[in-house]
Amino acid sequence: MNAAPQGVDPSLIPMSTNPSGAPSNFINPPSLKDSQFAGGLTLIILSTVFLIFRAYTNLRLTRRLFIDDYLCFLAHAGGIVYFASQRKMCEAGIGRHSWDTSVAMLTDQVMQNQILSQMIIAPTLWAAKSAILALYLRIFGKVKWLRISSYIWIFLMAIIFGLNIVISGVFCVPRSGEAWADVTFKRCSDSAWISLIVGVFAVIADLVILLLPFPIIMHLRLSTSKKIHLGIVFSTGVILVALSVVSLALRVIIYEGKDPFWYGILLGIISTAEVSGTVIVSCAPAVSAYWFKIFTKSTVFSLLQKSMIWTSPSSTSVATESTRGRPSTSGSAAKPAKSHVVEF
């Protein structure tokens, strides 16, 4: 970080030198501000919709919510707080390249939101990933090895993600007599190693969460088609593995000190996607249950079926053929149509 010389306006001093040699752009530089807002808001809306489906399905089918549901709600709330803190930083000018970010932008409020982000993302990721493991416990809890594995990983994640909170507090919260944006910034930057540990662990945890249910699914006494359906539902975890790998790559870049303000907000965007994506993935079984156990048995679905049948040329021709050679009475004509609806 470049310090402002005595008597020089800090709003004219960049945080770093442009590698290309071009002058800093403090007027209209490239920024991730709009991407952070649009991407984060879209993901939060999507995960909210999935959560509503999840809660409605469980309340409709079981008349209660479970621990995995509450963990999902907790993760969603944490994701919103994390998104809001990142948004505050973007509005203050963070999210630009370091050479387009002035020293004056590193205010107390920016540092406070940065530390809030670091502290809130840890329990949020823990709740999101633990929600999936808690779901496994609810569905496959009678399988001893899976039950033990799930509890172990919930405990391990609590330790690693909790360590992130402790380190952030020790390194990033100003001590007596220190300013938020002075010594604290340098010391907080020195704690980037914990971010790498969390990133590596998150990739491993997501791989475990992805693979854990498949040995059980393969041995279930179900038809091949139903096993494939279950496999597809649980395979949505591949998205989480991909996001955690991207997140780890960004953590490495930040650790190396390359343009931390730009890549820091980019990491925030990916972290928001990781939280919302985990919430959505954990809701996939509930959405599947909603479709097969609620919607397909509803009056709306029946009306859609009938509408599709009677507006389809092939079904009209089948209905015409089925009535050929029979008395043209209302009672006898209705039977083939009713049978066709059932077959559909």
Q: What is the pLDDT along the chain (344 residues), one digit of tens a residue?
A: 555 556 677 888 898 899 988 999 999 999 999 999 999 999 999 999 999 989 988 898 888 999 999 999 999 999 999 999 999 999 998 999 999 999 888 888 888 898 899 899 999 999 999 999 999 999 888 999 999 999 999 999 999 999 988 988 888 888 777 777 666 677 777 778 888 999 999 999 999 998 998 888 787 776 777 667 677 767 778 888 999 999 999 999 988 888 989 999 999 999 999 999 999 988 887 877 766 667 666 565 565 556 655 454 544 444 444 444 444 444 444 444 333 322 22
The answer to whether 51 and 76 are in contact (CB under 8 A) is yes
User: What total of structural domains would you count in the chain?
Assistant: 1
Neighbours of 175 (CB within 10 A): 9
Radius of gyration, alpha carbons of the chain:
27
Its pTM stands at 0.81
Would 311 be classed as within a structural domain? Answer: no
Distance of CA 331 to the CA centre of its chain: 55
CATH code (residue 88): 1.20.1070
Domain that holds residue 184: 30-295
The answer to whether 165 and 224 are in contact (CB under 8 A) is no
Axis crossing angle, helix 260-289 with helix 33-62, rounded to the nearest 10: 20
pLDDT in tens, 268-299: 999 999 999 999 988 887 877 766 667 666 56
Would 10 be classed as within a structural domain? Answer: no
Half-sphere exposure of 224 (CA within 13 A, CB side): 0
Would 167 be classed as within a structural domain? Answer: yes
Angle ∠(218,156,172) on CA atoms, nearest 5: 140
The answer to whether 205 and 148 are in contact (CB under 8 A) is no
Would 286 be classed as within a structural domain? Answer: yes
Would 83 be classed as within a structural domain? Answer: yes
Would 341 be classed as within a structural domain? Answer: no
User: What's the rounded Cα separation, in Å, for the pair 112 and 228?
Assistant: 48
The answer to whether 87 and 36 are in contact (CB under 8 A) is yes
pLDDT in tens, 15-64: 889 998 899 999 999 999 999 999 999 999 999 999 998 998 889 888 89
Token pair of 42 as six digits: 């879209």
Would 13 be classed as within a structural domain? Answer: no
Would 21 be classed as within a structural domain? Answer: no
